[in-house]
Every structure is written in structure tokens, then in C-alpha cells.
Structure 1
Amino acid sequence: MTWPAPVTLTGDHVILAPLSQDHAADLARAAADLGPLWYTSIPAPDGMSAEIDRRLSLPDMQPFTVMTPKGTPVGMTTYMHTDALNKRVEIGSTWLGPSVQRTPLNTEAKLLMLGHAFDHLGCIAVEFRTHRLNSQSRRAIERLGAQLDGILRAHMVADNGTIRDTAVYSITAPEWPTIKAHLTHQLTR
């Protein structure tokens, strides 16, 4: 049995639908507007179909297509490193097209994913990981209210051959009610 099971999460600013090859063309267009970033991995437009297949084939991953309220795919996000026994997931491998960056879409996407993880899956913690030098991602994770657990030094080899230090953040179940109130408030401002 797959844990967590595929689900569609819908808000006022975003729809998170199970990732599908049906979304490949729109996702390729969204990725084409991003350009290369050395410290993170964003699928190349011509490799989008292969990336969708890769994400769908991994047993500890539940990938989503991030869509506007009108249903236009604009990015990806994922429950990954899912651990049913210990009731933990990581939210990661997230990328968004420039047209929706710094909008309420990502805040609501994280609110929906965290809510599903804590309120429906019974998670005890949700993790976020990013390159230590990815300051944009780190600021976004910190704005959610996640706490820095630490830096995994020389954690992995990046696609470009450099050694990645990984910043690990988390939100725990006892923190969730406060984080939920914080994110809900951010969306109403």
C-alpha cells in the first residue's frame, strides 16, 4: 500500500494534483522560464517527461503538479522520503515558474500539504531540506515557521559535481497549530 495515497488538495490560490504525464507540456513551459540554477535541480524542459516518469517510479515519493486555480500547471512539489512507520514526510523537490513566485500560491500549497500531513496522515514531523547556499529557499522555509535542525555537511554530490551541504528544517506536530494560524494569517493579509 502506498503511503501517503495520491490525493488532490485544493485551496483558493492553488490546486495540488497528483503528477501526471498530462501536465508535461505546461510544466516544460513553466520550467523554460526559470533558467539554470547551480545549487538546485530543476527539470530541463526537454527532459520533463522523463522527470515525471522518474518521480512517479520512486516508492517513497508522492509527487504533485502545482496548478493555478484555473488548472494551469506551473510547477511541482513532492512528499518525499515518506516514512509510514515513523509518520514523517519531507516536502521538497519544489520548483515554481516565475509567474507564480512570491504570490500566495506557494504559501497556500505548503499550508495544504502540511495540513494533510499533520491532520490526515498523523505525521509527527515534516521536514524540509535545501542546499545550504540556496538563500531564497531557506528564507521561504523559514517564513513558513520551520526550525533549522542543522546542516548536513558534505551531504551529497550535486548534479554539477560540487559537494552539497544540506540545511535541514522541520515542523513538529505540537508546533502545527501555531504554524497553521501563522500561514492562515499570511494568506489573509
Structure 2
Amino acid sequence: MNESIILEGEGVRLVPLEQHHAEELYEAGCYKEIWTYLPIVVNSLDDMRSWIEAALSRKKQGFEYPFAVLNKETNVCIGSTRFMNMDLQNKGLEIGWTWYTPALWRSRVNTECKYLLLQYAFEQLQLIRVQLKADTRNERSNQAIARLGAVREGILRQDRVLPDGYIRNAYIYSILDKEWPEVKQRLEQYLERIVQNESN
């Protein structure tokens, strides 16, 4: 996979995650509610640096491709997302580790990021399957994934042990290459409606 993937939309720019993003990401991510359903908790700048280091290690091994998400207008980091569980031989990967600063929850940011990631996966990498997962308790994330048009395939039981000791179950979703044109149209229409509403 290309070492320098940059994905650019109307309001966001996804750039390869690097250590120099740590301070801005810590500022964006220093809200306890972000980490409720994620496998780690970031309580300090050192935690964020360690999290980035782990992501870059997985990238070097070829398992993941992490991004910093920037607000195009301010060029400031507002969150992160990544390609993970990459299996390019079998033409599949997962989009995950997605989080944004809470002020942008339920904004266009997540939809635009997912649009850019899915477009790259299906149209540049020529994949046949993209999957997503979410803690079954995380209603906000599950609603957001369903709104994309992803198909819920089932539950991964006792999928992961979280930092507080809770053993989570996760819903697993997928979008297939043959479904992408319809999903793409749905996302473009949704983003267009948001732009129209913002201009009114």
C-alpha cells in the first residue's frame, strides 16, 4: 500500500498518522467519553504518544494504516481513524479505531471520513469487502454504521476485554464491492444535504 495516502474532502483531510500529531490529538481526545468503548484509555500525552507508537508499529508490519483527521479550515487534528486487519490478498480490510473530539459528534465529519475511506478501499485498492465493528452497547456508533448502509452480519461474542475488565460483545458489519455504488450514492446525497442546510 502507498506509504503516503492523503484523502481530502470538503471539510476534512486524512493524513498518515505521525508522532508530531500527538499534542493536537491529545487535546482533541482528552474527553473521557471518547474512550468508553475503546480498547485503551488515554489519560495523558504520554498515553497518546504510546498509542501512536503502537499504531505505527502495526503499520510497519503491514497490518494497519492509521490516519490523523484534520479540520481542513484550521489544519488542526480533530480525531483519528484507520484501515486495520488488512488482508489485501483476500481483498478485504476493516475500518476502525475511529474517534473524534466530542464537539464534532453527529456532524458531517464521520460521514465524510467514512466516504473517503470507503472510496479509496473500493475504487483504488479494488477490495471486495470492508468490515466495521462496534461494541453492542455503543448505540451512537451502531447507528452511525447502519446509516452508512452497512449490513449487520451478527455478533462477535466476548470479542475483547476492555481496560475496566468488561468483556464486550461486538456487532460486525460489512459493505461489499457490489453494494458500494448504492452506499456511495447514499453518502453523497447525505453530504450534499448537509452542505445545502449549512448554506441556508
Q: Could you state the TM-score of these two structures normalised by the residue count of structure 1?
A: 0.94
- State yes or no: 1:98 paired with 2:96: no
Cross-structure match for 1:122: 126
Cross-structure match for 1:75: 79
- Matches of 1:39 and 1:155, distance apart in 2: 12
Q: Which moved more, 1:87-96 or 1:36-45?
A: 36-45
- State yes or no: 1:64 paired with 2:62: no
- State yes or no: 1:164 paired with 2:164: no
- State yes or no: 1:26 paired with 2:29: no
Richer in helix (by share): 2
Residue type at the aligned position of 1:43: V
Structure 2: runs of 5+ lacking an equivalent: 194-200
- Matches of 1:168 and 1:36, distance apart in 2: 20
8 A Cα contact 1:156 1:164, kept in partner: yes
1:52-85 Cα distance to aligned partner (Å, 9 max, x none): 1110101201000011013110101010000011
Residue type at the aligned position of 1:133: R
1:133 is displaced (CA, Å) by: 1.0
Cross-structure match for 2:196: none
1:99 is displaced (CA, Å) by: 2.2
Q: Could you state the TM-score of these two structures normalised by the residue count of structure 2?
A: 0.89
1:117-158 Cα distance to aligned partner (Å, 9 max, x none): 000001101000111111111001001110101101122222
RMSD between aligned residues: 1.4
Q: Which moved more, 1:51-60 or 1:96-105?
A: 96-105
For the structure 1 residues 24 and 144, does the alpha-carbon distance in structure 2 shift closer, same or farther, using more than 3 Å as the test? same
Show the 5 A alignment for 1:102-113: 102-113=106-117
> What SS does structure 1 have at the residue aligned with 2:123?
helix
Residue type at the aligned position of 1:68: N
